[in-house]
Amino acid sequence: MPTSPATATNSSSNGTTQAILLELVDEHGNTIGTAEKLAAHQAPGMLHRAFSVFLFDEHGRLLLQRRALGKYHSPGVWSNTCCGHPYPGEAPFAAAARRTHEELGISPSLLAEAGTVRYNHPDPDSGLVEQEYNHLFVGLVQTPPRPDPDEVGETAFVTPRELQARHAASPFSAWFMTVLDAARPAIRELTGPSGAW
């Protein structure tokens, strides 16, 4: 089922189309309804459920993706391994595994919950707003990415030092540092002290 661009629709078996819906939540992450994807991101934004994935290779390097230029939101910027939205009623863990495979053609060899973070990040370029209750996941990947070019423009495995240099030189998603900082305790537990995360 496609999830971008935001205005995409899904065809049902009877030939009709239906909008992509996101799960709206309250400040505690309790489901309170649904909204169409683009509407949920238009200012001032509606608080909705999301997920962010951070996958690492056997050397403790983080897999980044540069979002495809055709994305409706934050095109062409670098971000974490994968992020997205569960379908209404879909478990965030299942959504994270599904989208990682859809976007990058990989299945994590390990995927673990790493907490949640709530944020409000406007995107000045598009005028869209990320009002998200974000479920964080960390894990390991042992196969090379095979990105879907409609979703991902480029991938890179980086050390903490390489990430710092890339972050200083290239545009990143507005939410990247927020989700990375929130996931750091779980990342450190996964990669160990030698990973320097």
For the segment 21-64, what is each residue's pLDDT rounded down to a tens digit? Answer: 999 999 999 999 999 999 999 999 999 999 999 999 999 999 99
pLDDT at 78: 97
Name 10's bridge partners: 18
**pLDDT exceeds cutoff 90 at 97:** yes
Residue 7 confidence class, pLDDT cut points 50, 70, 90: very low
Which listed residue (83, 103, 130, 151) is catalytic?
83
pTM of this prediction? 0.89
For CA atoms 59, 95, 3, 13, the dihedral sign is: positive
CB atoms within 10 A of CB 195: 16
With pLDDT > 90 as the criterion, what percentage of the chain qualifies?
83
Distance of CA 104 to the CA centre of its chain: 12
**pLDDT exceeds cutoff 80 at 17:** no
Which listed residue (23, 103, 130, 132) is catalytic?
132
The answer to whether 83 is a known catalytic residue is: yes
d(CA 139, CA 162): 20
